[in-house]
Structure 1
Amino acid sequence: MLAELALYSDRLFMATVLVYVLAMVLHGAAYAIERAPAKAVALVGAGGQDAAPIEEPVEPPAGGRAEKFGGMALSLTLLGVFLHFGSIVLRGLAAQRWPLGNMYEFVSAICLAAAVTWLVVQRRSAVARPVGLFVLLPVVILLFLGGTVLYAPAAPVMPALQSYWLVIHVTAITISSGLLLVPGMLSALYLLRRSGRLAGIADKLPSADALDRVAYRTTIVAFPLFTFAIIAGAIWAEAAWGRFWGWDPKETVAFVSWVIYAAYLHARATAGWRTGRAAWINIVGFAAVVFNLFFINMVVAGLHSYAGLG
């Protein structure tokens, strides 16, 4: 029975990746179609001065088709979220524990949190819908890595992780990491939009101000949860190892990440820093989170070496 649950979980995981990829493709189609009319008009005007004006459109308005593709992409993303959640639930039932005991499960949960965050963001700010392609791209990449390089069979966790603090600390750090993925991408797109480079890609993005505003608001939500996760981890460390803080590599990088995000929020609220400087700080903060997730867990030996890859 448990083996069957694990198999169904893996199948739902694969279905999730497929659905997210299709949603990403549809987002990309909507993004490309929105640029097509401008190019068509430019080609029509290239016939010379004596060319007769064309009063009828060359093709149906792209906005309607782009809206349809975008709506389909959002529907698929929502479907992917349900499949993704089902995969995680079945994984927990198969392993008979909280499904956050190794890197495969951790990455999967982070991606679910990021996908849910994106659905909420676009719901509250429809102007950000074109960003869906760029948000789903890292989600798909992480899920691919999770399902291949990081995959681990459903099994009990080591005794050090058999604690209720696994539910509190690891869940909080997972959700906050998924939340922070979205503003990290938005800040990168903000810099691209603001730079004026790659106009063919950036011209249909929301305005730089809109991207910066959504990134800031999402980080404001994620930062308190990230702070709570670090505090909960310190309490768990005292219960497990007899000290609240020991400057273990993972603890150190987590603290550095917290300082970077605190600096971002301060910079974003400071006159003269509400430009590319604050956005760069936000990107560096997310890079530190990713570094802590992969490099520290998989390469550096420490008390937090629970990747489950060996």
Structure 2
Amino acid sequence: MNAQELSWLALWGATALYAIAMVASSVHLSRVADARASAKGKVPAGVAASHAGDASARPASASAGRDPAVASKATGIARATTLVGALLNGVGVVARGIEAGHAPWSTMYEYTITGTFVAVVVLLLVQSRRDIAYLFPGVTGFSTLALGLALTTLYQESTGLQPALQSFWLVIHVSIAIIATGVFIVAAVATMLQLMRDYRDEEPAAPGGLVRRWRNANVRLFKRWNWLEAVPSPRTLEALSFRLHAVGFVLWTFTVMAGAVWAEHAWGRYWGWDPKEVWSFIIWVIYAAYLHARTTQGWAGRRSAVLALIGFVALIMNFTVVNLYFQGLHSYA
């Protein structure tokens, strides 16, 4: 078996294991939600009133993964398959690098397989410090789709590096960009859950304009999604999301700066309004606005979450639309 075959098999194996982890972790969350709903029904009204707030408002020590009602096979399957999937994902990336003869970060295919690996590693690292079982379905589901798309659509035969990429800056600039992307993926999942839980906890407002109708539609939708009972309170999710976004923003800042230095070495200028450069800066501005608004302008809650998700959409567009449809000096990526 050569490096190409090893990479291919390892990545397909990782895709399958991530899919299993997504299903198992979803079953886990549904059982947590059922257990909490059942516990609520058994609590006397007076006791419930003296402990106002839903089950998700409990401290971290009483989080979903430590709830006695959810000590099931689904929990172990989800974590084991995620870990083994990450190991296979890493093997696939390393084997691709051996096959290509250089760091495997020069094409969309290589960026995708490495980015999914980083996202799952970030998930596992945070999980080792605090229970975040509620993030597993989203992150493993995203990784399943991303790897499947990479293997079926984005795959390219390994070739030598173009002259502009034959630099040590490839390792510095692109590796940091990939790590930042992995962090932003996990942060985006936490932010989406924050919004869902926030709408679920809200009561429908009186009929009104378009905005109010949109909000009421979301409230009614997420109140039907009982598995959201297994998700922590919006405030807890927002705190986790903010920390992850802050780390990702620092890494993305370094990515933009390193890219400018590399551009000066390769093309003789720090900035040239290339589509990739412009979109990377737009992403930086959106996330900077999110962090600034969240910390200094009191944009806590739904508004800051929407702004963070706009940043993630811009990140995805930078990787897909800009790479595929805009011509520039970064078209090889």
TM-score range (shorter-chain normalised) is 0.7 to 0.9
CA offsets 1:97-135 (integer angstroms, 9 cap, x no match): 111111111011111111011112222221x21221122
The answer to whether the aligner puts 1:35 opposite 2:6 as a matched pair is no
In structure 1, C-alpha distance between the alignment counterparts of 2:40 and 2:193, rounded to whole Å: 27
Q: Which residue of 2 aligns with 1:47?
A: none
Tell me if the contact between 1:33 and 1:66 (Cα under 8 Å) persists in the aligned partners. Answer: no
Letter of the 1:106 partner, please give it: Y
Of 227-236 and 117-126, deviating more is: 117-126
The aligned counterpart of 1:184 is: 188
Counterpart of 2:166 (choices 139, 162, 168) is: 162
Offset at 1:173?
Answer: 0.6
1:295 matched to 2:295? The reply is no
Q: Answer yes or no: is 1:91 the counterpart of 2:96.
A: yes
Q: State the Cα distance separating 1:38 from its structure 2 match.
A: 6.4
Q: 1:41 to 1:163 in 2, by over 3 A?
A: closer
Offset at residue 7 of structure 1 (A): 0.9
Question: Shift of residue 160 of structure 1?
Answer: 1.9
> Which consecutive unaligned segments of at least 5 residues does structure 1 have?
44-61
Which residue is 1:102 aligned to? 107
Assess if the C-alpha contact under 8 Å between 1:31 and 1:66 holds in 2. no
Matches within 5 A, 1:203-218: 203-218=229-244
Residue number in structure 2 paired with 1:9: 7
Matched, 1:114 2:119: yes
Alpha-carbon contact 1:34-1:63 (below 8 Å) kept: no
Match of 1:24 in 2: 22
Deviation readout 1:121-171 (Å, 9 max, x if unpaired): 222221x21221122211111111111110112222222211111111111
* Alignment correspondent of 2:283: 257
Q: Aligned residues, how many? A: 287
1:39, CA displacement in angstroms? 7.1
- CA distance in structure 2 between the aligned counterparts of 1:230 and 1:7, rounded to whole angstroms: 35
Residue 187 of structure 1 deviates from its aligned partner by: 0.9
TM-score by length of 2: 0.81
Q: 1:153 to 1:227 in 2, by over 3 A?
A: same
1:151 aligns with 2:155: yes
Q: Pick which of 192-201 and 244-253 moved more.
A: 192-201
Give the whole-Å Cα distance in 1 for the aligned partners of 2:258 and 2:176: 9
Measured on the aligned residues, the alpha-carbon RMSD in Å equals: 2.0
Compared with structure 1, are the counterparts of its residues 261 and 115 closer, same or farther at alpha carbon in structure 2 (3 Å cutoff)? Answer: same
Larger mean CA deviation between 189-198 and 253-262 belongs to: 189-198
| Mapped partners of 1:41, 1:116: distance in 2 | 34
The separation in 2 between residues aligned to 1:74 and 1:93, in whole angstroms, is 29
CA displacement 1:227-281 (0-9 Å, x = unmatched): 1111111111111111100111110010010011111111111353111111111
Q: Which runs of 4+ in 1 moved over 3 A?
A: 35-43, 62-68
Matched residues in 1 for 2:257 and 2:297: separation?
31
Task: Indicate the SS of the match to 1:254.
Answer: helix
Partners of 2:28 and 2:264 in 1: CA distance: 51
Residue 57 of structure 2 is matched in structure 1 by none
Task: Tell me what 1:279 maps to.
Answer: 305
Q: Secondary structure at the match of 1:124?
A: coil
Counterpart check, 1:80 vs 2:61: no
